[in-house]
Amino acid sequence: MENVIADDIVAAGNAEREKALRTDYAALGEQLHRRAIDIDAILKKLEAFGVAIPSWGVGTGGTRFARFPGDGEPRDIFDKIEDCAVIQQLTRATPRVSLHIPWDKADPKRLKQAASRHGLGFDAMNSNTFSDAKDQKHSYKFGSLSHADPGTRRQAVEHNLECIEIGRTLGSKALTIWIGDGSNFPGQVNFARAFERYLDSVRTVYAALPDDWRLFTEHKMYEPAFYSTVVQDWGTNYIIAKELGDKAYCLVDLGHHAPNVNIEMIVSRLVQFGKLGGFHFNDSKYGDDDLDAGSIDPYRLFLVFNELVDAEQSKKKGFDPAHMLDQSHNVTDPIESLMLSAIEVQRAYAQALLVDRNALEAYQEANDALMATQTLKSAYRTDVEPILAMARLNTGGAIDPVAAYRASGYRRKVASERPAVAAGGGGIV
């Protein structure tokens, strides 16, 4: 396996920090021991935990107003894989890349080689019927899988079938469908007919799914359509997964809900009825869906993981959610943002593992609201950084990934090798 960042740079940074880390880890271990928690068992779980990087996330995003390109942005999927390899090498938390077709279209053999050279695998495939590809026959201006015209729907279905075919050769095991279909004016679209057409289309895609694959459908409240959206919320998404069958699951993108919606409760419902497929992690403040995971409301991220750990520990049948980041970086180096976001997701998982579930249940049964919520808070307040850093050290990563990355000069190096790119995928789904 080929490391992109020189091993001696990572080793030098770790040597500087290892002693302090071991002291902090031992102190936290003692503290957790008093709470009857085995720190090494938590560490093992964290070492095995991964979240996928979206290929489009390593380029600078942009808004509908402007895009301000960064230095040394990836020019194609092979540059993107190299950037993803840096994130994985330093964090050891992102072993897979989630591809987007057609943005990442390339010879599958070369793709596979490029990824395995860096020890990376492929996560869910993402189709794109929310923008028109070059030379495509029918436009998606008025929709894709739910379009009024059967020819346009067929084209959108065929694109999804192609994504499955590409994914098969790459070793992917899932297809994620998000569509921008909807309307901007009351009366523009008949809600029921549009949804019926969507279901018809997606049934054809589902029928082509290999036996060991899963289909994830992703809901989003609005944007690009601003009056109505065909797959607008988790209720509609649940209906889709239910209509399609056992291989169909709902994907929850944290930024795709109205502000203040209780997302952890949606997660619980989907888990309870066996339809939680996975996540696109990010954060948001208003109606946006692109800020760095854990940057605005880390407590909410923790509460989501609290539900996931609850499900994991109660050994719910078929419970195996996919974890992916989906965010867009406008003012930071995408590699740094993605490294820290992956760590934020890990942190929420580690904190959720610390919840005393027996105590919590007892407080719930006794209607002790105050102590129940304190049980969550005491897990959330624990600084688990030594566990995360130790997991990185043990698996060959960097104790401080951003410091190692900056010391490596990687961005300066690729800036001189990669001519500036004007456009690129913007992390908009």
Chain residues binding Mn ion by CB under 5 A are: 253, 280, 326, 429
Looking at the Cβ atoms of 73 and 326, the one nearer to Mn ion is 326
Least separation in angstroms between residue 327's CB and Mn ion is 9
Least separation in angstroms between residue 383's CB and Mn ion is 30
Looking at the Cβ atoms of 253 and 400, the one nearer to Mn ion is 253
Looking at the Cβ atoms of 268 and 327, the one nearer to Mn ion is 327
Looking at the Cβ atoms of 348 and 429, the one nearer to Mn ion is 429
Closest CA to 427 of 238, 289, 227, 258: 289
Least separation in angstroms between residue 124's CB and Mn ion is 11
Least separation in angstroms between residue 220's CB and Mn ion is 7
How far CA 307 is from CA of 238, 314, 325, 381, in Å, comes to: 18, 11, 18, 17
The first and second tokens of residue 388, run together, are 């995360």
Looking at the Cβ atoms of 79 and 253, the one nearer to Mn ion is 253
Least separation in angstroms between residue 126's CB and Mn ion is 8
Least separation in angstroms between residue 403's CB and Mn ion is 30
Looking at the Cβ atoms of 220 and 347, the one nearer to Mn ion is 220
The first and second tokens of residue 337, run together, are 């943002």
32 contacts: CB under 8 Å, gap ≥ 6? 38, 39, 42, 354, 382
Least separation in angstroms between residue 56's CB and Mn ion is 10
Looking at the Cβ atoms of 82 and 104, the one nearer to Mn ion is 104
Least separation in angstroms between residue 152's CB and Mn ion is 23
Within a 10 A sphere around the Cβ of 26, how many other Cβ atoms? 12
Least separation in angstroms between residue 253's CB and Mn ion is 4
Looking at the Cβ atoms of 253 and 336, the one nearer to Mn ion is 253
Looking at the Cβ atoms of 4 and 429, the one nearer to Mn ion is 429
Contact, 240 vs 203, CB < 8 A?
Answer: no
Looking at the Cβ atoms of 13 and 424, the one nearer to Mn ion is 424
Least separation in angstroms between residue 251's CB and Mn ion is 7
Least separation in angstroms between residue 311's CB and Mn ion is 21
Determine the Cα–Cα distance for residues 208 and 163; give it in Å rounded to an integer: 11
Looking at the Cβ atoms of 14 and 128, the one nearer to Mn ion is 128
The first and second tokens of residue 262, run together, are 């209780």
SS (H, E, C) the chain: CCCCCCHHHHHHHHHHHHHHHHHHHHHHHHHHHHCCCCHHHHHHHHHCCCCEEEHHHHCECCCCCCCCCCCCCCCCHHHHHHHHHHHHHHHCCCCEEECECCCCCCCHHHHHHHHHHCCCEECCEECCCCCCCCCCCCCCCCCCCCCCCHHHHHHHHHHHHHHHHHHHHHCCCEEEECCCCEECCCCCCCHHHHHHHHHHHHHHHHHCCCCCCEEEEECCCCCCCCCEECCCCHHHHHHHHHHHCCCEEEEEECCCCCCCCCHHHHHHHHHHCCCEEEEEECECCCCCCCECCCCCCHHHHHHHHHHHHHHHHCCCCCCCCEEEECCCECCCCHHHHHHHHHHHHHHHHHHHHCCCHHHHHHHHHCCCHHHHHHHHHHHHHCCCHHHHHHHHHHCCCCCCHHHHHHHHCHHHHHHHHCCCCCCCCCCCC
